[in-house]
Chains A and B, each alone.
Chain A
Amino acid sequence: MLMDIQQHAREIGLGLDLFSCIQCGKCTGGCPVSLTTALNVRSLVYGALIGDIAGPVHREELWDCTCCFTCVERCPKDVRPAEVIIALRSLLVEEGKVPSTIGNALMGIFRQGNPLGYAREDRTAWMDGLEVQPAQEGCETLLFTCCSSAYDIRAQAATKALVRVLQAAGVDFGHLGTEETCCGNEVRRVGEMGLFEMLVEEGKPLLEEVGAARMVTTSPHCMNTFRHEYKLGMDVLHYTQVLARLLDEGRLNLTGRVEKVVTYHDPCFLGKQNGIFDEPREVLKAIPGVKFVEMDRIRERSLCCEGGGGRMWFEGTNTEGRLAFQRVQEAADTGAEILAVACPFCMAMLDDAVKVKGLSERLKVMDIAELVAMAL
C-alpha cells in the first residue's frame, strides 16, 4: 500500500504536518510506551513522509499508542506526530483490520451508545437512590457522564459522589438520561472517523438543545473532544474545575475530615492536553485533614496510565511492562495512602495495577469527587 498519508490526514481532518519534521526524536523520546513496546512514532512519521508505510501500517504496535499527545505537546516543529498513528489506524479501520476487542467496543457504541455494549436503557442505573434532574431547557449546567462513569461499577461510585457534592453546593444541573451517548473521543483516536462524525452529528444538537451555559464532564476525554472537536456553543469544564470554583466562591463547605496522605495523578487529557494542572490540586488541598504529597513525574512530565486512545479496549503488545504498574509504585513510594485520580480511565488502569502489584494494603485509588464527598 503506497499512498499519500499527508493528504489522507488532511481529508480526515487531522493537522498532521509531515513536511515540517526534522526527525529529532523528541516525540519518540517522550512517548510513554516507547520503552516497553516497538512503537516508534518518529520512524512512522519518516515512513509516511517518504512513502514507505507498507511495513509500519500493519504492525500491531500501532494500537499501543495511548494518544496522550506528549509528542504533540513537545514537538518543536508542530508536526503533531501522534496524528500519523491516527491516520494509519484510520486506513486499517477502512480495511476492517482492527483488533477484535476494539471492534467490539466500536460496535457497542454504534448499537448502544457505549463501548461496553451495555443496554442503552441501563445508562442511568447509577442514579439509583439519587435525585438527578433531567436536562431541560433553562438549566444552567449540563452534567455529562462518560460511558465508564455511567456503567463501570468502580467509576459509578465516583459519579454518585460527584452528584452529591454538586447538590450539596446547590448547583443547578441536569442530565440527558438515557439519551446520553458516547462522546467518541477514543473513537476518533482509533481512527473510526465515520462513526465519530455520526456521533458529532447526532450528539451536538442534542447537547445544544438544552441551552445550558456550561457542560461539566466526569472525564477529561469527553471534555477534550467536546472542547476541540464538537465546537459547542457552551463552556465545557472538567468537574475538578467546577469544584475548585465552588470552593473558591465559598459555595462548597467541607466540614468533614479526611485524615489521609494523598497524592495525585495527572490525566493526560486534562493536564498535558488541556493545561489543567492546578484545579485538581487546589481541590485536594482544600479537603480538611488531607496531607498532600507530590510524585516526581507530575504535570507536564506526568506518566500516562495507558488507558487512552482505545487502550481501554486493547491490552497492548506488552502486558508485562504496564505503565500503571510503575505509576502505582511511584505513588506508594511517596508514602501516600491514597492515589487521587480525576478520570475514569485512570481509575480503572491504576486501580487494577494496585491489585496486580499487591499494593492494596498500602494504597487506595480514589476519585477526587469521592474524597470531596467524604468531607461533606
Chain B
Amino acid sequence: MEPRPRIGVYICHCGTNVAATVDVEAVTEFAATLPGVVVARHYTYMCSEPGQALIREDARALGLNRVVVASCSPRMHEPTFRAASQEGGVNPYQFEMANIREQCSWVHHDRHEATEKAKALVYAAVMKAIRLEPLEEREAPVTPAALVIGGGVAGMMAALDIAEAGFPVYLVEKSDHLGGRVAELNRTFPDLEPVSEWLPALVDQVQRHPNITVYLNSRVTNITGFVGNFEATVEGAKEPLKVGAIVIATGYDVFDPRRKPEFGYGIYPQVVTTLELEHRLAAGDLTVNGKTPKDVVFIKCVGSRDQQLGRPYCSRVCCMISAKQAQLVRQALPDARVTVFYMDVRTFGKRGEEFYDEARRAGVRYRRGNVSEIYRRGDRVVVRVEDTLLGRTIEHEADLVVLAVGMEPRPEAADIAALLKLPRSADGFFLEAHPKLRPVDTAVDGVFLAGCCQSPKDIPDTIAQAKAAAASALIPLMRGVVPMEAATAIVDPELCAGCGMCVEICPYGAPGLDPLWGVSRVNAVLCKGCGACAVTCPSKAIRLQHFTPDQILAQVEALVGW
C-alpha cells in the first residue's frame, strides 16, 4: 500500500513577474487547505539555490512524498525542480508544476482574475500530484558520433570542435565544395582581411581531419530515432549513419532584388547586389559598360525591414557590408563619389561604430533616405530618393548602384524542418528552444542550431554559435548515456484482451503481442510516451504513465470545479 500523500506546495514570485499580478500569499493560503498538503510556502525565486533548498529541507524534515511548484513553464524549470525533489528524497516523477507565469501572470492584467486562475492551476496540480506514481529513470547508450548538416563556416567549425573532442563527425554539404557563403566573399569587416587568408586553411583542416567524413554533393534524405540514437540517410553514404547528436548549419539565401521591381535589378547593368560587388572587388574590375564609374551608390535594407515582403527583420550584416564595400570602392576608385543611402545605420557590435567612422573618414557620404526608384538617363541611372534630412526629393545620377541585399531562409530549410519536426519562427528561420537561455538548442533533444539558419548573423557570431552548438552536442556524446523517457506506456495483462489495436496504432512498434500469453507488452526502449495507444485500447489495459486517465480526470475536475 502506497503511503498517504504528503505534499509540499511552493509558490514562486519570480521576482515581480508572478507576484505583481498574482497574489502569491493568497494562493499559498489556499494551497495549504488542499488535501494532502503538509506545507505551502511562497518565495521570491524558487529556482534559486535558497528556493531549491526549501524543497530539499522540507522534504526531509516533513517526510514529503510529493512536491508541487507553481512558477514558470515546466518547459523551463521542470528538470531543476525534479532534481531538487530527488535530492530531498522524493521521486522526481512525483513532482508536478503549475504554470502560473507564462500561462497566467504574463497574459492577464486583472489581479483578482489572475489570482483565481492561479489557484485553479495549483489545485489541479495538487490533484494530479496525489495520483502520481513513482517512476524509475533509465538510461540508453549514446552512439558516439555526430551529424553536421551544412558545410559553411558554421558547419565546419562545429564539425571541427566535435572531431577535436575525439568523436567521428559526418559533414554533409549539398554543393561540391566546403566554405559556404563565406567562400564567395572577398574581404571581411571590420578588419578588411582577405577571406583567402584563413578560409582555405579551415577547409583543408576539415577535409584532412581523421575524425571528419565529408559528403559533398549530398543531402540528408531521412532521419529517424532520438537523442543519442539517430539514424540519418545521407546521399553518398552506403548505409544509414548512426549518430548521437545533430548540428544544423544550413545557412541562408540571398534576397532576390527582382522582388523589389522599383530598383530595376536585372534590367540595368549598373545595378548589382553586394554579393556581386564582392566578386567584382575580388576580380579587381568595377567597370560598367567598359567605363570606370564616377559615381557609386549603395542602397541599404533591400529585402530587410520590409513588412510588405514578409521580411520584417533586420539582416544585421548589410550596414557593415556596405561600410566595408564603400571603403573598398573608395580605395579602388579614388576619384569616384561614393554615397550610402540609409534608413538607419546599425553598425553595432565590437568595432562596428568605429568601422562606420572609418568609412566616413575615408570619404564615403552617408545620406539619410530610403531609395524609392531607379530609372535610366543616358548611360547612367538615376537614383530617386528623398534626402529626409533636407526634406527634399533628389535625382542622384550614378554609374554603379549596389543593393545591400538581406538574408532569408533557404527553401530547403522546410525539408530539414519536416525531417526532424523542427519548429521555425514566422520568418522561416529555425526556432531556438528559448530566445535567451537555450539559443542553440531546438525543440528536439539532441538537435542543435549553428549560424544563419537560425537568424541572420555575421561571421564572428556564426562561429560563436557553431562552437556553442558543438559544445552542446558534445554533452550527450561525452556522457555516453542519455536519460530515457520514464513516462512510457505499460500494459495491465489482467485487462488486456490481446486485440492488438495498440500494436497497430503505435508509430514506433513499441507494443507487441506476447505469443505465449496473447497479451500486449510494451518495449520501453522503443516507447516515446505519446499516449496514442492508451486512447485506442478498448479495455483501457494500456496506459501512459505520468499521464494516466485518473490523473487527467482529476485535473479536469479541479479546473472546472474551481
Residues of A within 8 A of B (CB): 20, 22-31, 34-35, 40, 42-43, 70, 74-78, 296-297, 299-301
Q: Is B3 an interface residue (CB 8 A)?
A: no
> Does B307 contact A77, Cβ atoms closer than 8 Å?
yes
> Does A25 contact B262, Cβ atoms closer than 8 Å?
no
Known: A25-B369, A35-B393, A301-B375. A30 touches B388 (CB 8 A): no
Which chain A residue has the least Cβ–Cβ distance from B381? A296
> Does A300 contact B388, Cβ atoms closer than 8 Å?
no
> Does A35 contact B369, Cβ atoms closer than 8 Å?
no
> Does B368 contact A29, Cβ atoms closer than 8 Å?
no
> Does A29 contact B369, Cβ atoms closer than 8 Å?
yes
- State which of B373, B374, B388 has its C-beta within 8 Å of the C-beta of A42: B388
Q: Which residues of A contact B308 (CB under 8 A)?
A: 74-76, 78
Compute how far the CA of A26 lies from the CA of B369 in the bound complex, rounded to whole angstroms.
7
> Does B262 contact A76, Cβ atoms closer than 8 Å?
no
Residues of B within 8 A of A (CB): 261-262, 264, 301, 305-309, 343-344, 368-376, 384-388, 391, 393, 395
- State which of B309, B376, B388 has its C-beta within 8 Å of the C-beta of A25: B388
> Does A29 contact B306, Cβ atoms closer than 8 Å?
no
| Nearest 4 Cβ contacts at the A-B interface | A30-B372, A29-B372, A24-B370, A25-B386
Compute how far the CA of A22 lies from the CA of B370 in the bound complex, rounded to whole angstroms.
10
Q: Which residues of B contact A297 (CB under 8 A)?
A: 375
> Does A76 contact B307, Cβ atoms closer than 8 Å?
yes
> Does B375 contact A29, Cβ atoms closer than 8 Å?
no
The minimal Cβ–Cβ distance linking B420 to chain A, given in whole angstroms, is 33
Which chain B residue has the least Cβ–Cβ distance from A76? B306
Which chain B residue has the least Cβ–Cβ distance from A29? B372
> Does A25 contact B305, Cβ atoms closer than 8 Å?
no
Compute how far the CA of A43 lies from the CA of B301 in the bound complex, rounded to whole angstroms.
21
Q: Which residues of A contact B371 (CB under 8 A)?
A: 26, 29
Compute how far the CA of A300 lies from the CA of B258 in the bound complex, rounded to whole angstroms.
12
Compute how far the CA of A75 lies from the CA of B387 in the bound complex, rounded to whole angstroms.
16
Which chain A residue has the least Cβ–Cβ distance from B305? A76
> Does B307 contact A301, Cβ atoms closer than 8 Å?
no
Q: Which residues of A contact B344 (CB under 8 A)?
A: 22
Which chain B residue has the least Cβ–Cβ distance from A43? B391
Most buried by B among A25, A28, A297, A299: A25
Compute how far the CA of A300 lies from the CA of B391 in the bound complex, rounded to whole angstroms.
24
> Does A28 contact B393, Cβ atoms closer than 8 Å?
yes
- State which of B262, B264, B301, B368 has its C-beta within 8 Å of the C-beta of A74: B262
Q: Which residues of B contact A29 (CB under 8 A)?
A: 369-373, 384-386, 393
Beyond A24-B370, A25-B370, A76-B309, list 18 extra A-B contacts (CB 8 Å).
A25-B386, A27-B372, A28-B393, A29-B369, A29-B370, A29-B372, A30-B384, A34-B386, A35-B393, A35-B395, A40-B391, A74-B372, A76-B308, A76-B370, A78-B307, A300-B261, A301-B262, A301-B375
Known: A34-B393, A42-B386. A300 touches B370 (CB 8 A): no
Q: Which residues of A contact B309 (CB under 8 A)?
A: 76
Q: Which residues of B contact A76 (CB under 8 A)?
A: 301, 305-309, 370
Compute how far the CA of A78 lies from the CA of B308 in the bound complex, rounded to whole angstroms.
7
Most buried by B among A22, A30, A34, A77: A30
> Does B370 contact A26, Cβ atoms closer than 8 Å?
yes
Could you list 26 examples of A-B contacts with CB < 8 Å?
Answer: A22-B344, A23-B388, A24-B343, A24-B370, A25-B368, A25-B386, A26-B371, A26-B372, A29-B370, A29-B373, A29-B384, A30-B262, A40-B393, A42-B386, A43-B391, A70-B372, A74-B372, A76-B305, A76-B309, A76-B370, A77-B307, A78-B308, A297-B375, A299-B261, A301-B264, A301-B374
